[in-house]
Amino acid sequence: MIDLRLIRDSPELVREAIRKKGIGEEHDVDEVLRLDAKRRELLQEVQELRARRNRLSQEIGRLKESGGSPNELVVEMREVSSRIKELDGQLRPVEERLQTLLLYIPNIPHPDAPVGPDETHNVEVDRWGEPRNFEFPPKPHWELGTSLRILDFERAAKVTGTRFTVFWNAGARLVRALISFMIDLHVREHGYAEVLPPFLVNEQAMVGTAQLPRFREDSFKVEGYDFYLVPTAEVPVTNLHRGEILEADQLPLYYVAYTACFRSEAGSYGRDTRGLIRQHQFDKVELVKVVTPETSYQELEKLVREAGEVLRRLGLPYRVVEMCTGDLGFAQTRKYDLEVWMPSYQRYVEISSCSNFEDFQARRANIRFRRSRKSRPEYVHTLNGSGVAIGRTIAALLENYQCSDGSVVIPEALRPYMQGMDRITPGD
RNA sequence: GGAGAGAUGGCUGAGUGGCCGAAAGCGCUCGCCUCGAAAGCGAGUAGGCGGGUAGCCCCGCCUCGUGGGUUCGAAUCCCACUCUCUCCGCCA
């Protein structure tokens, strides 16, 4: 949520953001301005009446105390009270509508974010490693995984449906190894605290990180409960501090969390239908930062390096792309994607997304900090980034490390987590 | 699943209809004292919203888990919900 005062003072800035992102309605801004004015008008009147009520109430109390008869005052009180009730009745729908509209207005892009309508305007800012030259026709990971008997899409379809996977044997172990490898890296070398949050969250948490109310169709809800399956660990982890006022010396907070992630992938029928790239359930190690406003952009750059370290250790070629305004999400001001080289796609594929939200989520989730004992609370800045997506990492490992006989070499960094196993061959 | 208890400021905890945004204690901040510290003494110490003046000051309104109700008036009475705790049962 953006600051109502910003809309009041610079509505054109907000309209421009809506245009650049292609998310939201410009006329919502006008309605916000109208409702805000209306609200303040009603509020002033009702507050004066309440002040009157408080004074009358005191007088009645005093009169009764001294044995007097407050009848006339009680009559006036009745009138004042019913008028207050009436105005409250007018005020409430105004405030509710205003609040809802604010939840639908997107965050303002950073001035340095490249402007453009779609991904063709994204900007590559870094590149690491060389895509390998295969001396044989490389296979896609779904073929490799199936013939190695570590990925089983057919049985997953039987027990659940399409876009699910069963991992067998070395495949299952590989998932576990990657989770541990990534968490260890971020804890030991990047100073993150390990968190294992719930995989179900309530509606308020989803609103806090801005998945709701706008993107309801993207998530899975548990029938009969106020529970959503987490689409990313960002939701439970960022919301850990919902409603809190933190001390300045607690910041920055760095959290690393593994969760399974659940996404409906509504509207992507027919895209990436094979393999691990687009699943309803996938594993991910997520990095979340809660920081002071003045540090958030340098924290974003650091986040990109920390996520990239995972790929460098695994020897996977990747590039870093800065998202243009049209590719920025609803809540982000600035975002970098890490894209790993995927031989079957013959291109780089997103494997991590690192974003700054500034105070957008903090305002929704009411996460603040105090610079000193005496100072007013301010909103923190929040960031997050994948560190990184496990399923896509497995796809990239299988494809990039495949051999002509269909076996797959396990990169050095992962072997300690695989009981020393250095290669997956059929039967493992 | 059954039975019961509870939810008040950073913490403990008082408050059963008006004088209560709220006693007391602890903690914390500042000052005095001291060579310094402790102790002691004094002062201060929630958040939000609206308005004024304009910078960090004044005025008002709201908030005692959440939402509704009773009442001229609710932290206090009634209802619903959420959460926490205890006991029994069940269970990974």
- Distant-in-sequence, close-in-space partners of A161: CB < 8 Å, separation ≥ 6: A280
The reply to whether A274 belongs to the active site is no
Which residue has tokens 């007097």?
A68
Q: Which of residues 355-414 of A touch strand B (CB under 7 A)?
A: 368, 370, 373-374, 376-377
| Model confidence pLDDT, tens digit, residues A355-411 | 999 999 999 999 999 888 778 889 999 999 999 999 999 999 999 999 999 999 999
Residue A69 confidence class, pLDDT cut points 50, 70, 90 = confident
- Give residue A415's identity as a one-letter amino acid code: R
Q: How confident is the model at residue A427 (pLDDT cuts 50, 70, 90)?
A: low
Specify which of A75-79, A129-133, A201-205, A215-219 reaches the highest per-range mean pLDDT: A129-133
Sign of CA dihedral A324, A330, A333, A334: negative
Q: Give catalytic status of residue A57 as yes or no.
A: no
Classify A15 as helix, strand or coil: helix
Strand B bases near protein CB (under 7 Å) are 18-19, 28-29, 47-51, 60-62, 72-73
A363 is catalytic: no
Q: Which nucleotide is nearest to A63 (CA to C1')?
A: B18
In this prediction, residue A428 carries a pLDDT of 66
Pairing type for strands A228-229 and A200-201 reads: antiparallel
Q: What ipTM does the predicted assembly reach?
A: 0.87
A287 SS3 class: strand
In chain A, which residues from 33 to 62 place their CB closer than 7 Å to nucleic acid strand B? 40, 43-44, 47-48, 50-51, 53-58, 60-61
Q: Is the peptide bond before A426 cis (omega within 30 degrees of 0)?
A: no
> So what's the pLDDT on residue A373?
76
Are the C-beta atoms of A316 and A129 separated by less than 8 Å? yes
- Of A155, A113, A146, A123, nearest to A300 by C-alpha is A113
The predicted model scores a pTM of 0.93
A139 Ramachandran zone, left/alpha/beta (phi>0; psi -120 to 50): beta
* A34 a catalytic residue: no
d(C-alpha A413, C-alpha A417), whole Å? 8
C-alpha distances (whole Å) from A212 to each of A120, A206, A299 are: 28, 5, 26
Chain A window 134-193: residues with CB closer than 7 Å to nucleic chain B are none
Amino acid at A346: Q
Question: What is the CB neighbour count within 10 angstroms for residue A256?
Answer: 24
**Is the pLDDT higher at A278 or at A62?**
A278
- Which phi and psi angles does A300 have, rounded to 5°? -65, -45
Give the pLDDT of residue A223: 84
With CA of A245 and C1' of each nucleotide, the nearest comes out as B47
Length of chain A: 428
Q: Which of A296, A355, A392, A399 is catalytic?
A: A392
Q: Which two tokens stand for residue A190?
A: 């990047």
Cα separations in angstroms, A289 against A78, A192, A385: 53, 9, 9
